[in-house]
Structure 1
């Protein structure tokens, strides 16, 4: 009897990989799909923490990551033992963790959030009179603290892709670009860049902003996030001038090296069961502990965004 194989791909993978997928989306969309799809095998063209999340939410399925080395700097920069001590130093705080984190990290969390729902979840917790600590993304936490006047203690990891965007390069690019200019940015970017942005949001949020764009038709729209999403933006609005924001000296070349490990050959081999790594190393107790804060986030999202 044949097994049902479902392929998921993040927006940051190359266009050819997205075309091979049954579902393309951001972290929240793919998390929900992984939980609800009736798959025997999930091939996750993304990075390791995403495949781990899919396994945690759908433990009956075999989850395969096409390349074992496709990790994330937010994971590699976080020592879980140190994180545990940090969390224990704030016993009266709620620990909110960004989904870009390992299974062990999630197991130490009270809530998991994505870039799409982080604002709403933390606002909900503060409205309930709770105090919050936030990990692992320092840039995202700094933006939330500035934007909403929070005083959340922050962990110190950053996304190595988004952290390269900088205000000086943007100023140069804006000065050299005639006509109207806009900047949309992912909240993993540094605070000076985010404060310059006309819109700050998740990959899906930025894509929706582009789809709904109705301002100056000749404007240049700079996008401060991994270049993969520009494929989707150009497909949705070929009439617009959309470019990646520069990272230094006008360079517009910011790729996630880990996402790009999802090659056509690696994904095809994983689909055939001939390659990749199976996410079979998470024990049941760890998955149960990590699932709790993820389910809390998913239930919140179902109610809040219904």
Structure 2
């Protein structure tokens, strides 16, 4: 019997996470996929994550449960235009967010996740390098604001995180009579991030919740995809945790692509049926692997 390992991102539904051998954020799942002793890796996430697993573990068969599970950061990026943009900055290091296609990664010098992007870009600037950043405009704008960088930015956004807005947050905050906090993922728009008490990766926000030791009746608003709220409430059922509103108080912001990972689709993938990531050539994978491995080596040193 083939050894099947199932990975699930925090943004998948709770019942999908319960089917997984490993649940995590992009960095955790990349490391797990690379080292997995598996014949088949079922990746309950989105396509770029499954591609990354295949790049890092080319001997495994990697299956995406639903062919439609993509990402707006990928669909909003034309790789031919990206290549021309990169070539217009020949003296810059191209840093790309892991939420990108294999072709995109192959045009990059470094890959980053939301957990290590601050440290890696700070490292490059400390070495005297100039940086261009893609594809997430909101994340790049926050880094430029927070650290005074002048990175040229690509102009794609996460369609889920980009819906969070300051007006809706102000209205939600005004309705709360207790203490209130906002934690946010850096894919959110800059006005939201400027208002946040904590900005960080999915795992970073989860850890912030786990260690929260302030007012027990505080309202904690979370500006990210709603899947992680399951993990947060599981870890801290004593806290009042709500997703940040997107408009008119609506707290209903889900990634439609992550939610394509249904129980039925994951079960089919575990049985060997689904979208097999078999279209990447060895040359494609080699080109994309180099900047990913550069990130993983850096992360091994800094997050060991």
What is the TM-score normalised by the length of structure 1?
A: 0.99
RMSD: 0.3
Specify the alignment match of 2:214 in structure 1.
Answer: 215
SS in 2 for 1:20: coil
2:101 equivalent to 1:102: yes
Residues 237-248 of structure 1 aligned to structure 2 (within 5 Å)? 237-248=236-247
1:287 shift after superposition: 0.3
1:235 shift after superposition: 0.2
Specify the alignment match of 1:93 in structure 2.
Answer: 92
1:126 shift after superposition: 0.1
2:164 equivalent to 1:165: yes
Specify the alignment match of 1:29 in structure 2.
Answer: 28
In 1: Cα distance, 2:111 partner to 2:256 partner: 25
In 1: Cα distance, 2:163 partner to 2:188 partner: 8
1:186 shift after superposition: 0.1
Specify the alignment match of 2:111 in structure 1.
Answer: 112
Q: Deviations over 1:16-56 (max 9, x none)?
A: 00000000000000000000111110000000000000000
In 1: Cα distance, 2:32 partner to 2:70 partner: 21
Specify the alignment match of 2:49 in structure 1.
Answer: 50
In 2: Cα distance, 1:178 partner to 1:34 partner: 45
2:292 equivalent to 1:294: yes
In 2: Cα distance, 1:285 partner to 1:17 partner: 33
In 1: Cα distance, 2:51 partner to 2:80 partner: 19
2:198 equivalent to 1:196: no
Residues 245-284 of structure 1 aligned to structure 2 (within 5 Å)? 245-273=244-272, 275-284=273-282
SS in 2 for 1:95: strand
- Equivalent pairs counted in the alignment come to 304
In 1: Cα distance, 2:295 partner to 2:94 partner: 13
1:221 shift after superposition: 0.2
Give unpaired runs (5+ residues) of structure 2.
Answer: none
1:178 shift after superposition: 1.4
Give unpaired runs (5+ residues) of structure 1.
Answer: none
Specify the alignment match of 2:225 in structure 1.
Answer: 226
Q: Deviations over 1:201-249 (max 9, x none)?
A: 0000000000000000000000000000000000000000000000001
2:99 equivalent to 1:131: no
In 2: Cα distance, 1:31 partner to 1:305 partner: 14
Specify the alignment match of 2:67 in structure 1.
Answer: 68
Moved over 3 A (4+): none
SS in 1 for 2:152: coil
SS in 2 for 1:289: helix
In 1: Cα distance, 2:190 partner to 2:155 partner: 14
